[in-house]
Amino acid sequence: MGVGKALTQKGSERMRQFPQGFLWGCATASYQIEGSPLSDGAGPSIWHRFSHTPGNVLGGDTGDVACDHYRRWRDDVVLMRELGIRAYRFSIAWPRVLPEGRGAVNENGLAFYGRLVDALLEADIIPFVTLYHWDLPGSLQDLGGWANRDVAGWFADYADVLFGRLGDRVHHWITLNEPWCVAHLGYILGQHAPGMRDLWAGLRAVHNLLLAHGRAVLAFRQRNMPEGRIGITLNFRPPHPGSQSEQDRAAARRAHAYHNRLFLDPIFTGRYPDPIVQWFKDSWPETLQSDQDVIRAPIDFLGVNYYTRNVVVHAPGTGLLHTRVIRQPGPHTAMGWEIYPEGLFELLLWIHQAYGSPVLYITENGAAFEDRPDPSGTVRDTDRLDYLRQHFVQAHRAIQEGVRLQGYFVWSLMDNFEWAHGYSKRFGIVYVDFGSQKRTIKQSGHWYCGVIARNGLEN
């Protein structure tokens, strides 16, 4: 079933036309671009603490300055307007709004985001607000953070402050960004803030993140904002077995259940994937029957973050799932991730078919490459342009198959603080000279501007 005109002849060109009103955008996150983490009454986040702890971030980089967006936000909105984006996904730093995570609101912090929203609307750019993109207030981590069941109420209260103060202008809300990374990288592997290596805590974080999401959705519904839409952003890595042996196929099923279904199933079906509950049986958290109803509070859209796939083999005693990812031949990004555009089509179709055809937004897709300006100052990032083009083609294929994909946010608007990699990995379609803070639209950014203007791809 096609949607819109799939391929239209335009002279000798063939266009892949996207549906009218398709939202082309870019995405960022507070700690990765803002800088000024403690300005105007903001409290320290777990990433402020983590990055200031020696050894946690490559090169000792921190988010103290980042892209200085907290001060340069007006110019950055002008930049977004130059790119012609229709929508901008950004996150709000919880500790800027509630410095202690609970209690008193920091009006300065709230005012920053109010000004940013007003400037976006003035520029005819639709704000998509992520309530949580990993910068938990440090004071809540002191109480156990995501491993403390009370966090669900703290998060819902924080979300409700923002619904009340920005809900008249912001109509698209994302509760959590990649809760899988929050639990797995932050509480189980310790590679991200808060740097815990505790399976017991990590699995409770999984459940409490889902509870927090559900409680925020219920708080949103209570506000009765008919124009409002709320969803969650999940990260996915479609796993392919390294061989057709039953062991490798079972390994891929385990990886699929843990990486792709751990949050999706409870939200859409009210149940955790059985293979995972069985796998972690001794450590699995106690849950209440009533939790399911909170977690599966209906959402209006699902945000999909896709970068690559994993080819997985059975590896006894290796890692959490006794699996190992096998590097594939062919092109990879600077993150060491295989470039596998077909994985985006496979993923979108699977979600569409297996979870009741939800409205989808690609809330992140992009690539890191070694970008350098040439002597003229131009950044010819053809590898990123090709990566995006190939993935846009797959998104178009999915729409042609009836997937209700309504927008695409490129990660990222600009080069930024790439978590434990610091500033060593550049994902932006805009180059940032972190010394001078000069922004330069890369070749991929200029190309993306054309895609948006045509709402489609030329072959």
Ligand X SMILES: N#[N+]C[C@@H]1[C@@H](O)[C@H](O)[C@@H](O)[C@@H]2O[C@H]12
Catalogue the active-site residues. 178, 364
> What are the CA-CA distances from residue 254 to residues 188, 314, 316 (Å)?
17, 10, 13
Task: Yes or no: say if 331 and 352 are a contact pair by the CB < 8 Å rule.
Answer: no
What's the min distance (Å) between Cβ of 411 and ligand X?
A: 5
Query: 263 or 411, CB closer to ligand X?
Result: 411
**Residue that has been written with the tokens 């907290």 in this structure:** 70
What's the min distance (Å) between Cβ of 293 and ligand X?
A: 28
Burial (CB count <10 Å: 0-12, 13-18, 19+), residue 430: buried
Burial (CB count <10 Å: 0-12, 13-18, 19+), residue 243: middle
Distance CA 64, CA 37 (A): 6
Contacts 24+ apart (CB under 8 A), 114-119: 114/165, 114/166, 115/73, 116/73, 116/77, 116/90, 117/166, 117/169, 117/170, 118/169, 119/73, 119/74, 119/77
- Give the number of other Cβ atoms within 10 Å of residue 139's Cβ: 19
What's the min distance (Å) between Cβ of 236 and ligand X?
A: 11
Query: 178 or 371, CB closer to ligand X?
Result: 178
Query: 29 or 131, CB closer to ligand X?
Result: 29
Query: 36 or 130, CB closer to ligand X?
Result: 130
Report the candidate in 300, 298, 305, 400 with the shortest Cα–Cα distance to residue 359.
300
Which of helix, strand or coil describes residue 201?
helix
Residues paired with residue 409 on neighbouring β-strands, in sequence order: 25
What's the min distance (Å) between Cβ of 344 and ligand X?
A: 14
Query: 351 or 420, CB closer to ligand X?
Result: 420
What's the min distance (Å) between Cβ of 310 and ligand X?
A: 14
Query: 203 or 367, CB closer to ligand X?
Result: 367
Distance CA 440, CA 459 (A): 26
- Residues in contact with ligand X by the rule CB under 6 A: 29, 32, 177-178, 305, 364, 411, 418, 427
Pairing of strands 430-433, 438-441: antiparallel
Pairing of strands 438-441, 310-314: unpaired
What's the min distance (Å) between Cβ of 49 and ligand X?
A: 18
